[in-house]
Structure 1
Amino acid sequence: MKKLIAMAMALLMLTSATIVNASAAQRDGVDAERLTCERVEELPDGGHIYTYLVRGIEHHYPVPPAGFNPITATDEQLETYCFPRRPVTREAEAMNTWLALIENYTETPIPVISIGKKQTQETQQTPETRSISSSISRNWSGYSVSDSIYTQVQMDYTEPTITSAVSGAASCEWVGIGGYPDAFGVAKLVQAGTVQFGTSSHKAWYEYLNNSSEETNYPMTYIDSLSINAGNSIHVYISFQRANNRFEYYIANNSTGKSQAMYIDNVPSDIFYDGTTAEWIVERPYNGAYMPLCNYGTITLKTCQFTTNANNTWRKVGDYNNDKITMYNDSGTTILSQPGSITNSDSFKCTWKAAR
């Protein structure tokens, strides 16, 4: 089947590589298991860290004290509560971007967490080449970069209004580090974003996986305490600190001023971290088969930026070699989601074309 798809696509894109990417989402949160908090640690400043166990791994959710102001917080406090770090450079553009991300912050809710009941994997297909400018995928659309080792990725967008959805349809938006298969066909990926099921269900989520086996993958984790609705202004940030194998995410609903963050220490980097790519993606989830894609209309993904292990300064996706990824249906005959050109070096639109 993969050969048939590749042959069909070659007629359309002679310079493209066929990619079957790591699949993010699983099922609606309705088909999920609500977790119980294992313990709560009170911090000296009055904040708390809530710890949940997900398949034996501790997931820590820091909640700042009432009245916390990330703008005036120390760098140490920003790190403790997993807020986007204050820019190393004090250049006006970098500072203004950072301030825009956090100036509407009001509070972090006490975390309410659930996990998808069904574990999903998808066998990966190694790209024909990685030195390309356009690719095709059965589940991803957007952009990726692959010229360095990536440590942080961020993005802003407006949560889409789903105008129509066939039965079982879903869509999601996310940022990730990793996801392309390695030489052994295993895609290591850490990611976070929002997901839509049908026309009315919107959820924040995160995940880390390698699509190798159920034993080395972890369920999609929903952040039920962070309310997401169509039209909300969303910011997503993730990082992986290779020195201590720490994975962090931060998702903010800048329309409500609420955000949620999480960190995991000692994530096995040899299993889950491949820093050779970074992504900004609209996806149709996989749940035993690729789900139909919700009609999300057109979405603009902004502030598509990254840092590398060589330099902690935020860089824009359009200023570097990048890979434009178009989503096709299973047979490779119909475009489902089409990314546009990058504007202002760090923004692009994705447009829905078909459900399947």
Structure 2
Amino acid sequence: MTKSIPHSLAMAAVLAIGCLAADAQQYSTAVALPGVPNITTYNSVPEGFDPAAASDTELQQFGFPKRPDISDTKAYGRWLQAVSVTRITPELVVNTGRYHRPNQRVGQSTVVENTTHSSSGNWSGWSLIGGSPVFDEVVGLWVVPNVGSSTSTTNGFMSEWVGIDGNCKCNDLIQDGTEQQFTGGKATYYAWIEFIPEAEVIVKNLTVAPGDVIYAYSAVAVQSGKIVGVYYLANYNTKKAVSATIAIPPKTTFSGLSAEWIVERTEVNGSFTNPLPNYAYAYMDDAWAYRSGSSHAIDYTAEANENIVMVQGTTQLSKSFEQDADSMWFQWLAYF
């Protein structure tokens, strides 16, 4: 005989869920910006809230990255460090005309074992490609490179980021990262989030400087029946973090067919063939992706992957090479 749940217990469960949802709404804000109308920002958390003890549902409702497998001590430890940083309410502004575009492939590719070697007009770095289930999370940790020692007087723009999609036959790209640019004889640095095809959104109050250690997390989720890009950025030097979501743009389809770790020539006012500022070397660690339904971290070369060199014509501008299973180096080679 099937036992029925007592009415009082059922009502208590419903009320608890309702209170949790209402409580979560108190700590998030709907934001509409020109060209990016459907943003949610996450504010401070309830007093006493402990991400390590929270349920998966609570982590999502309060804007935290998903918890990785606790048996993976490095991935779990990095996650715990990221979610323990003081969270501030992000102050956002759309940077019109600024985009971090999908891979602009050029030339032919070659395959050696499980790595495809290719060239791009705007990307350098690594990408996991294909497979099943789809990718739905990507993580990276890097030291912000210094472009202030540039010997060129020409303006240059570069970005370092993690993302999902953009290296496949798809029209979406969920990503967050840092911008390093040299314009008017001086260097500028800032953090940003983006859901292509919409423009870059600057996080004004998450300050970024050369040498800062940045944790970046991009993911996809379904909230209130709608697909959203999920973003979490932490600066370990300033001990501040921000969290936000952006609803999937109109006429855009989430694919989940690639995950990437990239240094890029940023598109500015329709062009990404601007000079690449001299960043010398850039280091990225914790280069992991996750597949839907799994909390197991996948190293960036553990499955079929692509190593991408940035070129302009026959000149190599930037390349990336392995440090170990989950870390890599980027190397600047030329301005243009």
5+ residue gaps, structure 2, are 1-20
Asked if the contact 1:159–1:229 (Cα under 8 Å) also holds between the matched residues in 2, the reply is: yes
Which SS does the other structure have where 1:341 is aligned?
Answer: strand
Instruction: Judge conservation of contact 2:195–2:249 (CA < 8 Å) in 1.
Output: no
Task: Measure, in 2, the Cα distance between the counterparts of 1:274 and 1:45.
Answer: 28
CA RMSD of aligned residues (A): 2.8
Corresponding residue for residue 138 of structure 2: 153
1:106 aligned to 2:93?
A: no
SS in 2 for 1:65: coil
Listed one character per residue, the Cα deviations across residues 261-301 of structure 1 (whole Å, up to 9, x for unaligned) are 11134x25861422111100000112232221111111111
Q: How does 1:330-345 map to 2 (within 5 A)?
A: 331=313, 333-343=314-324, 345=325
Deviations 1:85-114 (A, max 9, x none): 2224434333223223334x1231x32211
The residue correspondences of 1:37-76 to structure 2 (distance < 5 A) are: 44=23, 48-54=27-33, 55=35, 57-65=37-45, 69-76=50-57
Structure number with higher strand proportion:
2
Structure 1 residue ranges (4+ consecutive) displaced by more than 6 angstroms after TM superposition:
none
Question: 1:56 offset after TM fit, Å?
Answer: 6.0
Give the CA deviation at 1:178: 0.8
Say if 2:102 and 2:167, in contact at 8 Å, map to a contact too.
Answer: no
Aligned residue number for residue 38 of structure 1: none
Paired-residue identity, % = 25
Aligned-partner residue type, residue 246 of structure 1: V
Q: CA deviation at 1:46?
A: 9.4
2:233 to 221, 246, 251: 251
User: TM-score, normalization: structure 2?
Assistant: 0.80
In structure 2, the residue matched to 1:176 is: 163
Deviation at 1:314, TM superposition (A): 1.5
The Cα shift of 1:256 comes to 1.2
> 1:193 Cα shift?
0.4
* Partner residue in 2 for 1:37: none
Partner of 2:14: none
Q: What's the CA shift string for 1:120-153, capped at 9, x where partnerless?
A: 6789558866965211111111000113221000
- Code of the aligned partner of 1:207: E
Query: Pairwise mapping of residues 130-149 of structure 1 onto structure 2 (< 5 A)?
Result: 133-148=116-131, 149=134
Alignment length (residue pairs) = 299
Is contact 1:126-1:180 (8 Å) kept?
no
- Aligned to 2:278, what secondary structure does the other structure show? coil
Residues 154, 306 of structure 1: 8 Å contact kept: yes
Tell me whether 1:222 sits opposite 2:209 in the alignment: no
The aligned counterpart of 1:262 is: 244
Q: Which amino acid aligns with 1:195?
A: E
Pick aligned residue for 1:350 from 313, 316, 330? 330
Given the superposition, is the C-alpha separation of residues 66 and 196 from structure 1 closer, same or farther in structure 2, using an over 3 Å criterion?
Answer: farther
Which residue matches 1:32?
A: none
The 3 A distance-change label for structure 1 pair 88 and 244 is: farther
Rounded Cα–Cα distance in structure 1 between residues aligned with 2:293 and 2:250: 18
TM-score, structure 1 normalization: 0.75
Quick check: 1:90 aligned with 2:71?
yes
